[in-house]
Amino acid sequence: MCGIVGYVGSQHANGRPLDVVMGGLARLEYRGYDSAGVALVTQDAGLATAKKAGKLVNLEGLLEERPLPPATAGIGHTRWATHGAPNDVNAHPHVSADGSVAVIHNGIVENFASLRAELAADGITMTSETDTEVVAHLLGAAYAATGDLAEAMRLIARRLHGTFTLLAVARDTPDLVVGTRHDSPLVVGLGEGENFLGSDVAAFIAHTREAMELGQDQVVSITPDAVTVVDFEGATVEPRRFTVDWDAAAAEKGGFASFMDKEIHDQPHAIADTLLGRTDDAGRLVLDEVRVDEAVLRQIDKIIVIACGTAAYAGQVAKYAIEHWCRIPVEVELAHEFRYRDPVVNAKTLVVAVSQSGETMDTLMAVRHAREQGATVLAIVNTHGSTIPRESDAVLYTHAGPEVAVASTKAFLAQITAAYLLGLYLAQLRGTKFPDEIAEILQDLREIPDKVQTVIDASGHVREVARSMADATSVLFLGRHVGYPVAMEGALKLKELAYIHAEGFAAGELKHGPIALIEDGQPVFIVVPSPRGRDSLHSKVISNIQEIRARGARTLVIAEEGDTDVLPFADEVFYVPRTPVLLAPLVSVVPLQIFACELATAKGLDVDQPRNLAKSVTVE
Ligand code: AGP
C-alpha cells in the first residue's frame, strides 16, 4: 500500500503544485514510509524529480537543499516496498529511458519479470529493482509512439497483470496528469481551476470535498479545468461524483472509526497481495526472494518456527499444513524461550522467523542464535528492509501493507498465507505433493479473500453480541487442530484490545482441568472444525460444547455454514464459508478479531493504541 497524490492547476503555478503534493503525502504517510518522491512538470517544459529513502521528512530536507523550479503539475508517492529494498534508487517516481515521462505506482505488477526481459531485449537496462521502473519505460515508449499520454497509459495498462494504481506526467504537457487503476484505489478531487488525484481522499481533502470515484480498468486525465475518463477499450465513461463528509483524521482511516477496523477490512487485499506474483506462467511456485539453495532445502529434516505473540500463532497454524504437505517435523517456539532451552539445531534445520515489524528483539536474538548453530534462517516479514530479514539467509515478504494498529490482524492472515506458500514450495521442491495437488491448494487459497470478505460483510451479528458483552470479565476460547491456535489468537485479541481476561486452549484439554472454570453464564467461544473433514474432530468438539453447556456456559460458536449439528448447544452461532480444513484459520479467526475490536470500542477504549503495548517490541 503506497500513498499517491497528483495535482494540476496552471493558474496556481509556482509553489502550489509542490505544496499540494507534499501536503497530500503527509496525510498518506501511514500508507507507506519506506521512501518518498515527487515529479513536477515545470513551466519551462521539463520534468523535475526528487526522491529519498525513509520518511517524508527526508524528502523535505532534500527539497530544502535543492529546491525544485516552479511547476504547473505534479505527482508524489510514499512507498511501502514490495519489490526492491527501500532505498533512493528504488524510490518513486521512476522516469522513462528517454526522460519523457515520470511514473508512480501503488500495487504489484505480477508479470514485470517478462516485461523486463522484453525491455532488455530492446536494449533498455534497469537502474532499480522495482516493477514500477518497467512500467515507466513501457509508458515512455508508448508516449513516443502516440504523442498522447492518456492513450499511452491505456495501451500499457492493458498489458499489466496484478494490481496497480499508476500516475504519470510528461515533460512536454505541463497542464496534464494521467492516472489508471486496476484492483487498487484512485479517486479524483475536483477544484476550481485545479484538480487532484489520490489513492484516497485524504490526499486532497484539505482542498476540496467534491470527488469522483474511478472504476476498475479506467484511465483518467486531469487538466486545470477538465476531468476525462475512458475505459481500457477507449470508450468515454462518466464517473460517479460524491461529496466527502469525513474529516481529515477519518479520511486517513478510509472512513473507518479506527485503523484496527480499517485493517480488518483490508484483510482480503492483504491475502490476495501476498499471493500475487508467486507463481510462474506454468503455475509453479517461484518464491524469488527465497534465495536458498534448493539442495539445502531438499536436505532439511526439521523446521523450527520462531516468533512472538500473534506471529507465533501464525506459525502454529502453518505447522499443521507444512507437516501435512511436506512430511517434515515442524516445531513452533516462542522466540524468547528458544535460545535458552539449548535447542537441537544444525545445518539440516530450517528456522523460520515470523515477524510483522521485522524488529522484534526476542525474535532477532533467536535468529542470531539459530545462525550461530548452523541453521538456515528464512524470515517471513511484512516490513521491507527491517533488521530480521537483513540478518536472515532469505526472506518471504508478506504484502499486507503498513499495519498501523498495534494489535495485528491483516499481518496475521498474510503471515499464515506466506507460510502456506513456503510449505507448498517445499512440497513442490521435495516432491511430497504432485503439481496438480499444489495447483488445487493454490486455487483454494485464491478463493480465500472472497470468503474473508463474506465474513466481514456478515459481521453485524458478532458486533451486536460484542456490544452486549461490554461488561464481560472473562471469556474462554476453545479450538482443536488448526482451530487451537485460532482460539489462542482470539483470546490474545480480546486481552490486548478490551483488557479482559481471556484464555485460549485446546478443546481436548477441557476435561484435564479447565472445565473447572465453567460456571453459569461463563462466555466460551468454540471454533468448530468442518463437519466435512476429519469428522471425528467435529463430533468431539460438539461433545465439548455439550459438556460446557450442561454446566451453564454461554456458548458462542464459530461454525462452517450449513453445520446444523451445533444449533442445539449454541447460544450464538457465527457461520463462516466452507473452507478446506488446513486453510480454515484464515476465515474462522475473522469473527474473533471483529468481536474483540467491537467490544473494546463499546468500552470506549483506544483500539489502535492499547495501554501498555507497542507496535514493535524492540527490547528483550
Ligand atoms: C499482536 O496483536 C501483538 N501486537 C503482538 O503479539 C505481536 O504479534 C508480537 O509482538 C510480534 O510482533 P512482530 O510480528 O512485529 O514480530
Homologous superfamily in CATH for domain 459-602: Glucose-6-phosphate isomerase like protein; domain 1 (3.40.50.10490)
Give the Cα separation of 88 and 79 in Å (integer): 11
The CB of 382 under 6 Å from ligand 1? The reply is no
Beta-strand relationship, 35-42 and 3-8 = unpaired
Q: Cell 501498555, residue?
A: 612
Q: Which residue, by CA, sits nearest to atom 16 of ligand 1?
A: 355
d(Cα 486, Cα 502) in Å, to the nearest integer?
13
CA distance 379 to 389: 6
Q: What is the pLDDT of residues 415-456, one digit of tens each?
A: 999 999 999 999 999 999 999 999 999 999 999 999 999 999
> Does ligand 1 have an atom closer than 6 angstroms to the CB of 616?
yes
Q: Judging by DSSP bridges, how do beta strands 240-243 and 349-355 pair with one another?
A: unpaired
> pLDDT digit string (tens) for 387-422?
899 899 999 999 998 898 999 999 999 999 999 999
Which amino acid does the sequence have at 247? D
Query: Which atom of ligand 1 is least distant from the CA of 411?
Result: 14
Listed in sequence order, the residues at least 6 apart from 140 whose beta carbon sits closer than 8 Å to its beta carbon are 95, 96, 97, 98, 99, 100, 101
- The neighbouring-strand residues paired with 195 are 8, 190
Output phi, psi for 304, to 5 deg: -120, 120
Q: Residues of CATH 3.40.50.10490 domain(s) within the chain?
A: 259-446, 459-602
Residue 540 is a catalytic residue: no
User: Pseudo-torsion of CA 128, 420, 424, 441, nearest 10°?
Assistant: -110
Strand, coil or helix: 139: helix
> What's the 396 CA to ligand 1 centre distance in angstroms?
17
**Residue in 55, 302, 540, 615 annotated catalytic:** 615
Angle, in degrees to the nearest 10, between helices 448-457 and 435-446: 30
The CB of 186 under 6 Å from ligand 1? The reply is no
535: confidence class by pLDDT, cuts 50, 70, 90: low
pTM exceeds 0.85, yes or no = no
Report residue 197's pLDDT band, with 50, 70 and 90 as the boundaries: very high
Question: Which option is the CATH number for 259-446: 1.10.3720.10, 3.30.43.10, 3.40.50.10490, 3.30.460.80?
Answer: 3.40.50.10490
Contact at 8 Å (CB) between 502 and 495?
yes
CATH 3.60.20.10 boundaries in the chain: 3-244
Query: Which ranges of 276-401 would DSSP assign to H, the alpha helix?
Result: 294-298, 309-326, 335-338, 361-372, 387-390
Ligand 1 centroid to residue 616 C-alpha, Å: 7
548 CA → ligand 1 middle, Å? 31
**Quick one: which of 307, 308, 313, 304 has its CA closest to 343?**
304
CB of residue 406 inside a 6 A radius of ligand 1: yes
- Tell me, yes or no, if 603 is annotated catalytic: no
Ligand 1 centroid, distance to 301 Cα (angstroms):
28
Q: Which CATH class is domain 3-244?
A: alpha beta
pLDDT digits (tens, 9 = 90+) for 9-62: 966 556 899 999 999 999 887 777 789 999 999 877 699 999 999 989 999 999
How far is it, in rounded angstroms, from Cα 395 to Cα 384?
10
387 C-beta closer than 6 A to ligand 1: no
Give the strand pairing for 394-397 and 349-355: unpaired
- Give the other-Cβ count within 10 Å of 208's Cβ: 18
Ligand 1 lined by 381 (C-beta under 6 Å): no
- Measure 595 CA to ligand 1 centroid, in angstroms: 19
Cβ(229)–Cβ(236) under 8 Å? yes
